[in-house]
Structures are given as C-alpha cells and as structure tokens.
A and B are shown apart, each in its own frame.
Chain A
Amino acid sequence: MANGYTGKIARINLTTNEITTIDTAKYEEFGGGYGIGAAIFWDLAVAPGQWDLKDPYDPRHVLPIMAGPLAATGVPGAGRTSICGISPETFPTCEFFRGNFGGRFATMMKLAGWDGIVVEGKAERPVWINVINDQIKIESARELWGLDTWETQDRIVSMVGGRTRFGEEWQKIGDSYTTGIPQIVCIGPVGEAKSRLAALIQGSGVSARIGGYGAVFGAKNLKAISVTGTGTIEMADPKGMLEARLWQMGGGSLVTGSFAPAFTGSASCHPCLRADRRRNNYHGGETMCVDQFWLSDKGDAARDLASEALMRYGASGWAAHFVGLFVSDIPGAPEFFHKQVPVETGIGWYLRYLHEIGVLGPGKEIDSAPLPMDQWGELAFREAFLDAVSRRAGIGDALAEGCCRAAQKWGRLEKDMESGALRFPAWGATGHWTLPSVEWAYNYMLGAGDPSWHGLVTAVGAPRGGTLEESLQRLSKKTIPYTDDIFMFNYAWKGEEAWKTGIYSPHKAKEVAWSRHYASFWNESMAFCEMFLPSLETLTPEIEMKYYRAVTGKKDSFADTMRIGQKIWTLERAIRVMHGRSRKTEDFAPFMYKPGASGMTFWGGVPIYENGKWRSDEAPEMYLDRKGVDDFKTHYYALEGWDKENGWPTRKTLEEFGLKKVADVMAARGRLGS
C-alpha cells in the first residue's frame, strides 16, 4: 500500500523479545492513527478473551503508538502521535482511553518505515527500543533508568548518532544520509515509579499528558522508544497537497481553528506550527500552556524552572494540576480559594484545600511529610512534590496514585466528591473544561475523561458577523451529516426548553455525536491537532478533504469520513463495554448536578434559545439535572445505535459498520446490545 501509509506496523513483545510485523492494509478501513490503534487493541487485547482488561500494568496490556497517513507528508498540523490503551489515571475503574502528543515522533517513525509501533509484554529488566529504518533492537536501559527525560533523550541521541556534530554533518545510515536526529518518546522518574500522574515526554516539552500512559511504560520496564528514519512517504497528488497548503495560507497564515487570534510570531501555546521559539522559555517553543503555567505567579524564571522540572520528571501538567488556567468559585470553599478554584481539580489544589481545612500538614491526620506545605506556592514545593512522587516517599506514595485514589486512601472520597472539593466531572480524570460547554461535558462522560477537543467552543460563541441565528445557520451547514438543525447548538439548560430543544434533547445528541465522530477520524486518526482543525467558522470541511485526498488519493466524501469516525467511536464503545461500561456506570460526579458546576467560558459564551429568541450567554449558573442527563443518554444511545438499557452497541449497528466479528465476540460474552 502507499499514499500516506508505510504499509507496516511493528509489533514488539517485551516479554519474549519477539519483533513481528502487522500489515497496515489489514486495518486501513479504520483510517489510521488511533482508529487503527483501537482496532489492533481489540484484536490483540480484547478478542482473545485472556485478559479482563482491568489492570493497566498487566503484561498483556497492548499499547499501540500510531501515526496517521497524513504525517510526514508536509500536511501541516497532522503529525501527532496517537496512543491508546487502558488508562491508569481514570477512576474508579481503569478505562480504555486515548491520548496523543505533538512533536516529530510520528513523522520520524513513518520515515523509518512504520505506521505504528505496538508494544506488549513486560521486559525483565529496563529496556529501550531503538528503531533505525527497518532495524529494530530492544536495548538495555540499565544506564538510562533513573535519568530524567531530557538526560535520557540526550544519552540516546549520542548513542544513535555517534559522533555526528549537530548542525554540521549528515549522519550516514546505510546508503542514506540525514541531518535529523532521533525522535524519542520516553518516561522520567515519575513514570518509572508507575505513578498515575506520569506523562510520556517527547523533546523538551511535548507530552502525552492524558491517561497516565507514562506509568504503563514504567510497568513494562520500557524507558524510551527512539526512531530514526531516512525513508520516503508516497502521496497521490503532491501538487494538490502543496496547493491545499497555499489555499489555507491564503488568509495570510496557516493559523486556523479555535485559537485563530494566535498569529505568526505571537507567543502562542502550540508546540508545532504555531509555536514561536523566540519566546525562549523552552527549546523550540515547545510545551503547552498547561505545563508552562504549572507555577504561574512567581515570575518568568521560577515559572520556567517549574515547568522544566515537570517535563524532566515526566509528570502530566493536568494530572498534577496545581492552579487552574481557568478559575471559578465554589460555594463554601475556604477563603484562600475565593474566586481561585480551578475549573477542574488538580492534585496541588487538593493538597492546599486539605491543608487549609486543617486535616493535612506535618503531624496532622494526613501527614504531609516530606512536603514543605508552608512553601506551597513556591518553586521549592513543586520540586519537592515531584521528588516525593517519583520516590513514593511519605505522602508521595498516595499522591502518585492521583487525587481520587489518594482521597479514597484518606477516607475522604465521597465527602469531597459530594462537596465539589474534588472537581472531576467524570471518571476521575483531570481536565480543564466542562460547563457551560455541555458537549464537552457529555464527551467527558461518554469517553473516559477530558476530551480535550475545542472544535465547537469558538464556533458557537458570539457571532463575528451577522446575527447569532445566522451564524448558527452557517454552522449547521457544516456539521455533516447532521445538517440544518440549529437546535444542536442550543445550550438552554432550564425549564421546558432544555428538554424540547436544549441540552437534554435529541438535538444536543447530534452535536455530541458530531464532535465525537469528527474527532475520532480527523483529530485522532488523521492526527490533526485539535487546536488546528476543525475550523468551523472558515475552512472546514474543505481543507480537511483537500489534504486527505491529495495524500491518500481516496475518493471518500466528507460524510464518508464522518462515517468512519462513527465506526471508530463505535469500536471504542465496544471495547469499553467489554470491560464494564454501561448506562449505570456512565454518570457525572455529584457536583455537576449542583450550583457551582459551571466554570467559565470565552468567546462570548454559548447560544441559548428561549422564549423564541437566541442569545449568547456565559451561563455561569449552569448545572445539570439528573433526569435530564438520563434522558440525554436515551436520545444519544438511540442516535448511535446502542441499546437503551445498557448503552451497548447492537448487532445491527456493528454489522452496518462491518464489525460482525466484534458483534460475535460481544454476543459470546453477553455484552451485545439488544
């Protein structure tokens, strides 16, 4: 196969040291990236039925690390690396989840000739995987274990690159040459400690911070994967690909999507095409806002040192959240947090909360040693926190398990979930956004944590031309196949309208479904940065299709791609169902049903239709109704072809997607929707 795909996926078993090849063509129907990764996960981890899918540290855990077909072709923003598997981070159960990271790993992996690398098993001793074109070696990581992520990458670059002088020489590989250096994804001490706060780090500040997959690397004794490639990626229409780029640049910049105001040369938050290395807070402008501002109010130097420590230790800037990017208020919160409560809880906030209410501190009910609680807001505390977690020293042992599990250990879980002191909308996973973006909240619940998908938040905001209704009419033409229904974008949350056309109605189910189907195909599988596309106010869906067709040569329509997205989402649902997901387990945390649940919004709020009129409203008082959410589930399950009772995909639905084998497995294990 060609045109965007290398045609093969490496399967590496760390228990047996066996390295085999999977034919990408077998999975091409799932698009690429995450879609193929999820399908491989089903085939290798779910279908055999030898593993209950509960423990992410089980050697049978299969971890697909995938690139999309548009990576390494010159298509901008499409080079993200996808990772999926059982997440150590989610709570109370470890759910099937996915994450992705930017940087250049996927690009280099494809140039080395691989559409993905699937890791399974567990090495007896620490190892790293060295991929140089078609040569794959499992190397000893004895000298790397214990190093931070920057040291690890430096060491591997030296080992792979030999004496090549950076920026001065080409490195000879076989009969090829490259000026590129190995691209490496690795873990730091936090991942080695199998902390659920662990991220995968690539480069200086690119991280897969959702899901805690760094801990899975740690459990597999896998320190790093390095890829070096000098190969070629074919594409169907190179001229068309370049013309698409120029068409996209026609507006003066490649910057589109949710954060369009960030322009060339600005201090944007994107570690890819929109990065600005002149900021110089990091190498190459890498890192994302959530990591940059891990310590935000102590000046630039302390801020940079704190986020550097976060990256070097390999911790997730989300799971180890200290102060929110977006702050709100909680009724009854201690004075210290007045108007400063992060929209979603981070472990740092929770520590301070417990300290403020007097239950955590030196010699207290929850002993804070070795953390210097009196320095909570200082750089020294951040460093002590990372050190304690990575050594699991003192309170660090509980913290390494994440907020919910720590709260459970301390006997505070129910109390603090109920009060809203622990603000995890669903599945115990830290995020950064929910209400009033209701579609974001529903994605939390239907998935396994923060969807981290901004596609609609600006598009439904205050109109930049014409009336709100006209703006929504334009938007409703783009949401193929659910077109011409502007009530999809109605965020009415109170009274009869909420059920009739608002957030508990069948209309809202369409908006949520569209967002999942789009994200599953275009962001997770074609690997477009979700900050980059969709660009619903302007270029979507034209630009996606221009790139897709130019690279792959496929004749699919946009509706076809959305259908593939729905197929991937249905398969994801099937995996979740196989380890216990059902209507009963799918719910929000108690605080989401109480005043104070809403956070904040930008871009003029959300559109609300009431009394026959549309208005933009920031809806700060929004909270959810239990019966309403239950009614929403009924509408949503029906739209997706899942059964009403359990939310399980039916045989008819699965077979319409060509997933008969999946239906057979589910039926055999009593999990098929009826």
Chain B
Amino acid sequence: MAESEKAAGKEKRVLRRQFLVGGGAALAAGALSVAVPQPSSAAECKPSYPSSTGYIVYDSRLCWGCQSCMFACSAVHYGNANPALSRIQIIRDAPSFTKYPLDIVMAVCRQCVTPLCVQNCPTGAAHVAAENGNVRVIDEEKCIGCRMCLQSCPQRPRRAVWNPSTQKSTKCDLCLDAPFWGRKGGPDGEPACVTICPSKALKLVHEAPPQEDVSGYDVNLVPPQPKTKRKPGTPAAPKA
C-alpha cells in the first residue's frame, strides 16, 4: 500500500515541487500538518542545531540511474545488498517512460540545517553527532521503532529508512558507521556512494547548500571540458 493511501480522502494534494522545500524551513506548515500531523514542523522548531560539516550534493542530469550508490550504501552498512535499506534512493522508471530529465529522481539525505528527524525523536536516537562534524545520525541502540523520524522528514520520498528486520529506523550518516567500507567515512572522509558513483554525479561538500528549495542540492557537477582548438570549417560539438 502506498503511504499516500493512508491519508487518502483527507489529504490536500500537494504538488511535488511545492512539497520539496528544504529542511522544512519554509514548509509548509500546511502540508505537514495535513500529512504528518503529530511531529512538530520546522516552523515550530525551537532548538537550533549546529550545522553539519558535510553534505552530499548531486547532479540529477549526470546520474546514469545505475543505482550503484544504493547497492554500495547497503553493502557498507549491512554487508549485503538491499536497495530498500539504502539511505540514498535513486528512483527511476518514471511512468509512461518519461524522458530525461524527468526520468530519475535522486533522493539524498540533506543533513538538514534544521533536522526534523532529530527534533521529533522522542528518545534522542536521532541526534547531531557533535564529535563527528555534526552529522545527523540515528543511534540504533536508542531507537524504539516509533517511526517518528520517518513521519517527520519533510522530503518526499522521506530520507529516513525503515529496517523491517530490526524494526528500527536508519538514515544517512555519511558512512560514519559503515563497518564494511574499507575507507574512512564521515564529513572528512569518503562516503561510499560518492566514491563508488561511476558517473561522478555525487559530491561531498562542506558548506550547507541553500535550504529553501530542492535545487540547492541538485547542482552542476559536470567537469569542465578541456578547451580544444577547433579547426576552421569543422562543426561545433553537439550539445549534450
């Protein structure tokens, strides 16, 4: 059953573009109050949190849709392959075979400046890891499986992930706790998804991208093309 069906009937239809506002800051008290009535929204968010020192930005035009990042994510965290447990979701096969650039949606945890998952966690399992560059993480030991973080996430689809085998939530930790990753993770390390991406469509940055809109994280990562002199009379290269 789709999550939307739960709220069917009483839900006000919210356009995706309207819904995907960042960190929830300007969001949408309206949208959240309808779809997720219990947790507090960013607008109501009283505490302020130190910003993360690491963020993953992406280029949705560069992505191949191979989902290597998803397999890498589950491999480094769980030692097996399960894209449903990946903390990054590359959603492809748009209905009616919609063409580029609408064929793929990249759902990457934003390490929100105002993290509602942290704000609404009743046990402190979702917290800001002060000792690790303020990355927003979930301590599975403390998680009671209330799914509040899933409901709180203002992004669509939600970035927090439900693990049915442990009955707990998880979220992107920039590979801070990735026992099957042979490299250092975290904001000063190499998150597996970024390193493994064959099209270089993901990048770790250290400044918070603009939070107001989804486009703040969807950036141009095309490497600069080497300048070559064109011979007179030869046609220009076709545009990508």
Q: Do A and B bind each other?
A: yes
Select which of A164, A234, A235, A282 is within 8 A of B2 by beta carbon: A164
Cα–Cα, bound, A280→B103 (Å): 10
* Segment among B37-45, B115-123, B135-143, B194-202 that sits at the interface with chain A: B194-202
Residue pair A232, B80 in contact (C-beta under 8 Å): yes
B-chain residues with CB within 8 Å of residue A157 when the two chains form the complex: 93, 95
B-chain residues with CB within 8 Å of residue A181 when the two chains form the complex: 93
Cα–Cα, bound, A284→B99 (Å): 7
Residue pair A246, B195 in contact (C-beta under 8 Å): yes
Cα–Cα, bound, A617→B8 (Å): 69
Cα–Cα, bound, A169→B36 (Å): 14
Residue pair A283, B240 in contact (C-beta under 8 Å): no
Residue pair A280, B100 in contact (C-beta under 8 Å): yes
Residue pair A164, B66 in contact (C-beta under 8 Å): no
Cα–Cα, bound, A192→B182 (Å): 51
CB of A124 within 8 Å of the partner chain: no
Residue pair B96, A154 in contact (C-beta under 8 Å): yes
Residue pair B68, A165 in contact (C-beta under 8 Å): no
Residue pair B65, A284 in contact (C-beta under 8 Å): yes
Residue pair B196, A172 in contact (C-beta under 8 Å): no
* Segment among A72-80, A380-388, A433-441 that sits at the interface with chain B: A72-80
* Shortest Cβ gap from A10 to chain B (Å): 20
* Shortest Cβ gap from A619 to chain B (Å): 33
* Segment among A236-244, A288-296, A458-466, A508-516 that sits at the interface with chain B: A236-244
Q: Name which residue of chain A comes closest to B65, CB basis.
A: A284
Q: Name which residue of chain A comes closest to B107, CB basis.
A: A179
Cα–Cα, bound, A48→B105 (Å): 50
CB of A264 within 8 Å of the partner chain: yes
Residue pair A277, B104 in contact (C-beta under 8 Å): yes
Chain B 79-102, CB-CB to A under 8 Å as 1, else 0, gives 111111100010111111111100
Size of the chain A interface, CB-CB below 8 angstroms:
62
CB of A168 within 8 Å of the partner chain: yes
Residue pair B79, A278 in contact (C-beta under 8 Å): no
* Segment among B47-55, B126-134, B156-164 that sits at the interface with chain A: B156-164
Cα–Cα, bound, A242→B197 (Å): 11
Residue pair A150, B96 in contact (C-beta under 8 Å): yes
Residue pair B8, A272 in contact (C-beta under 8 Å): no
* Shortest Cβ gap from B170 to chain A (Å): 12
Residue pair A167, B16 in contact (C-beta under 8 Å): yes
CB of B71 within 8 Å of the partner chain: yes
Residue pair B82, A231 in contact (C-beta under 8 Å): yes
Residue pair B99, A283 in contact (C-beta under 8 Å): yes
Q: Name which residue of chain B comes closest to A281, CB basis.
A: B99
Residue pair A168, B182 in contact (C-beta under 8 Å): no
Select which of A154, A235, A245 is within 8 A of B80 by beta carbon: A235
Cα–Cα, bound, A254→B75 (Å): 19
Residue pair A175, B164 in contact (C-beta under 8 Å): yes
CB of B4 within 8 Å of the partner chain: yes
Which A127-162 residues have C-beta < 8 A from chain B?
150, 154, 157, 161-162
Residue pair B81, A154 in contact (C-beta under 8 Å): no
Cα–Cα, bound, A242→B71 (Å): 10
CB of A408 within 8 Å of the partner chain: no
Select which of A154, A172, A245 is within 8 A of B95 by beta carbon: A154
Q: Which of B93, B103, B181, B196 has the most CB of A within 10 A?
A: B93
Residue pair B2, A165 in contact (C-beta under 8 Å): yes
Residue pair A76, B2 in contact (C-beta under 8 Å): no
- Knowing A165-B4, A233-B80, A238-B79 are in contact, say whether A272-B66 is a contact too (CB < 8 A): yes
Residue pair A242, B81 in contact (C-beta under 8 Å): no
CB of B172 within 8 Å of the partner chain: no
B-chain residues with CB within 8 Å of residue A277 when the two chains form the complex: 63-65, 100, 103-104
CB of A178 within 8 Å of the partner chain: yes
Select which of A169, A172, A278 is within 8 A of B156 by beta carbon: A169
Select which of A165, A172, A272, A283 is within 8 A of B97 by beta carbon: A283
A-chain residues with CB within 8 Å of residue B195 when the two chains form the complex: 246
A-chain residues with CB within 8 Å of residue B96 when the two chains form the complex: 150, 154
* Shortest Cβ gap from B72 to chain A (Å): 6
* Shortest Cβ gap from B154 to chain A (Å): 12
Query: Chain B: interface residue count, which band?
Result: 35 or more
Cα–Cα, bound, A233→B62 (Å): 28
CB of B176 within 8 Å of the partner chain: no
Residue pair B75, A238 in contact (C-beta under 8 Å): yes
CB of A111 within 8 Å of the partner chain: yes
Q: Name which residue of chain A comes closest to B61, CB basis.
A: A278
- Knowing A164-B2, A169-B4, A278-B240 are in contact, say whether A204-B97 is a contact too (CB < 8 A): yes
CB of A536 within 8 Å of the partner chain: no
Residue pair A162, B64 in contact (C-beta under 8 Å): no
CB of A410 within 8 Å of the partner chain: no
* Shortest Cβ gap from B240 to chain A (Å): 5
Cα–Cα, bound, A245→B100 (Å): 27
* Shortest Cβ gap from A327 to chain B (Å): 24
Select which of A104, A239, A253 is within 8 A of B182 by beta carbon: A239
Cα–Cα, bound, A197→B198 (Å): 36
Chain B 10-37, CB-CB to A under 8 Å as 1, else 0, gives 0000001001000000000000000000
Q: Which of A232, A241, A276, A279 has the most CB of B within 10 A?
A: A232
- Knowing A273-B64, A280-B100 are in contact, say whether A178-B196 is a contact too (CB < 8 A): no
CB of B192 within 8 Å of the partner chain: yes
Cα–Cα, bound, A167→B107 (Å): 8
Q: Name which residue of chain A comes closest to B14, CB basis.
A: A168
Cα–Cα, bound, A204→B78 (Å): 33
Q: Name which residue of chain B comes closest to A71, CB basis.
A: B81
CB of B5 within 8 Å of the partner chain: yes
A-chain residues with CB within 8 Å of residue B94 when the two chains form the complex: 166-167, 283
Residue pair B89, A179 in contact (C-beta under 8 Å): yes
Residue pair A233, B103 in contact (C-beta under 8 Å): no
Residue pair B198, A284 in contact (C-beta under 8 Å): no
Cα–Cα, bound, A280→B61 (Å): 11
Cα–Cα, bound, A165→B180 (Å): 33
Select which of B75, B162, B164 is within 8 A of A241 by beta carbon: B75
Residue pair B196, A246 in contact (C-beta under 8 Å): yes
Q: Name which residue of chain B comes closest to A245, CB basis.
A: B196
Residue pair B198, A169 in contact (C-beta under 8 Å): no
CB of A505 within 8 Å of the partner chain: no
Q: Which of B16, B83, B100 has the most CB of A within 10 A?
A: B83
Residue pair B192, A150 in contact (C-beta under 8 Å): no
Q: Name which residue of chain B comes closest to A75, CB basis.
A: B71
* Shortest Cβ gap from A250 to chain B (Å): 12
Residue pair A230, B84 in contact (C-beta under 8 Å): yes
* Shortest Cβ gap from B111 to chain A (Å): 20
A-B contact pairs, 5 of them (CB 8 A): A169-B4, A242-B76, A242-B196, A246-B195, A277-B64
Could you tell me which B residues sit within 8 Å of A by CB distance?
Answer: 1-5, 8, 16, 19, 61-66, 68, 71-72, 74-76, 78-85, 89, 91-100, 103-105, 107, 156-158, 161-162, 164, 180-182, 192, 195-196, 198-200, 240
Pairs of residues from A and B, 10 with the lowest C-beta to C-beta distance, nearest first: A74-B71, A164-B2, A167-B105, A283-B97, A204-B97, A238-B75, A232-B82, A175-B164, A168-B156, A233-B81
Given contacts A238-B81, A279-B100, A284-B93, 5 further A-B contacts (CB under 8 A): A111-B83, A172-B1, A178-B84, A179-B89, A283-B99
